[in-house]
């Protein structure tokens, strides 16, 4: 659908040859970004990056062709923004409510190196009622890298803001059997596949050969995904993040997921940066926390 069909308040952010507003899948508003180096797509629902691709390279992110694109439903793939809780919570949406809520686009600018930066804000919804007042902002910068900054501010005068956050990134890989993950050795992790058993990572290079669902704790360093079939290395640099989550549902879970093809588990790996479980954030009144992640890729 052409950009004339999107709301005026979005169209005013268009920049010729750089930013175009479109109606995306499921008629949800979508932002297409074109930098000198790369292209990207972001849905306003969830401020959800569904695609990032360097020119001349396969997509960096995986989004399932089977994903739902519907109001109030999570998108399966890309980068769901997780806040204020991670994982399931009884009677509440899994992974919090901001990934299934509309964000506002506050600013769209070009940056000097031929890139584009977009700043989103989240206005509180009824589901925020249990939290002290807060502000959530999200800055997505598209160059030859993808940089993501989730800024949470405690706007209360007298209460701490307790929360988990996470950028739940689905990476595209050629074949999960040819992938290894480096940078986790020596860390403790909660193994969700074995009832949250606390274990220590011993692998220099983690291979994925069955369901993997691990929360690495006190994990502040960079992680690399080595994709030997694609001959690509993906690097995840981060700050303001004390947890790394590694997830692949493998065969049985994939078959149980309605928004994921049975074989999709072969083409993706989630390596998520955030602050979850015992690394959750307790933010004093008036303070901000900044979770910053930079994704880059290079030949392997
Ligand atoms: C991961 C969790 O981050 O997200 C998994 O560790 C979970 O346990 C997965 O299954 C997907 O969650 P959802 O709510 O998007 O299906």
Peptide bond into 178 cis (omega under 30): no
Q: Kindly report the CA angle at 295 between 214 and 106, in degrees rounded to 5?
A: 105
Q: H or E element: which one contains 253? A: helix 250-256
Cα of 254 vs centre of ligand 1, distance in Å, is 11
Q: How do strand 38-43 and strand 243-248 relate by DSSP bridges?
A: unpaired
Task: Return d(Cα 154, Cα 286) in angstroms, integer.
Answer: 5
**What is the value of pTM for the model shown?**
0.97
Cα 283 → chain centroid: 22
Task: Return d(Cα 277, Cα 273) in angstroms, integer.
Answer: 13
Cα of 6 vs centre of ligand 1, distance in Å, is 32
pLDDT tens for each residue of 185-235: 999 999 999 999 999 999 999 999 999 999 999 999 999 999 999 999 999
Residues with CB under 6 A from ligand 1: 74, 87, 94-95, 168, 192, 213, 245, 247, 272
Tokens of 76: 């399966």
pLDDT tens for each residue of 143-195: 999 999 999 999 999 999 999 999 999 999 999 999 999 999 999 999 999 99
Cα of 82 vs centre of ligand 1, distance in Å, is 10
To test the pocket of ligand 1, the residue of 62, 81, 85, 87 to mutate (highest count of ligand atoms within 8 Å of its CB) is 87
Using DSSP's 3-state secondary structure scheme, residue 238 falls into strand
């Amino acid at each position: 659908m052409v950009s004339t069909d999107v709301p005026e308040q979005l169209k005013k952010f268009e920049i010729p040859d750089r930013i175009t507003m479109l109606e995306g899948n499921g008629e949800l508003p979508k932002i297409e970004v074109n930098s000198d180096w790369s292209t990207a797509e972001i849905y306003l629902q969830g401020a959800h990056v569904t695609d990032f691709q360097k020119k001349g390279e396969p997509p960096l992110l995986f989004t399932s062709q089977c994903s739902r694109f519907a109001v109030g439903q999570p998108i399966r793939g890309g980068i769901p923004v997780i806040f204020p809780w991670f994982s399931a919570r009884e009677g509440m949406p899994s992974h919090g409510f901001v990934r299934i809520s509309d964000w506002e686009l506050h600013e769209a600018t070009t940056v000097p190196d031929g890139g584009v930066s977009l700043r989103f804000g989240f206005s509180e919804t009824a589901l925020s009622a249990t939290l002290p007042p807060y502000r959530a902002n999200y800055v997505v910068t598209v160059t030859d890298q993808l940089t993501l900054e989730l800024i949470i501010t405690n706007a209360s005068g007298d209460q701490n803001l307790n929360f988990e956050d996470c950028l739940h990134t689905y990476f595209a890989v050629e074949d999960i059997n040819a992938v290894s993950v480096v940078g986790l050795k020596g860390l403790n992790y909660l193994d969700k596949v074995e009832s949250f058993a606390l274990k220590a990572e011993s692998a220099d290079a983690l291979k994925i050969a069955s369901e993997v669902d691990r929360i690495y704790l006190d994990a502040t360093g960079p992680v690399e995904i080595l994709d030997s079939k694609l001959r690509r290395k993906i690097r995840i640099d981060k700050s303001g993040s004390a947890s790394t989550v590694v997830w692949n549902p493998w065969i049985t879970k994939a078959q149980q997921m309605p928004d994921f093809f049975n074989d999709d588990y072969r083409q993706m790996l989630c390596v998520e940066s955030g602050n979850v479980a015992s690394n959750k954030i307790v933010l004093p009144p008036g303070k901000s926390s900044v979770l910053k992640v930079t994704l880059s890729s290079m030949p392997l």
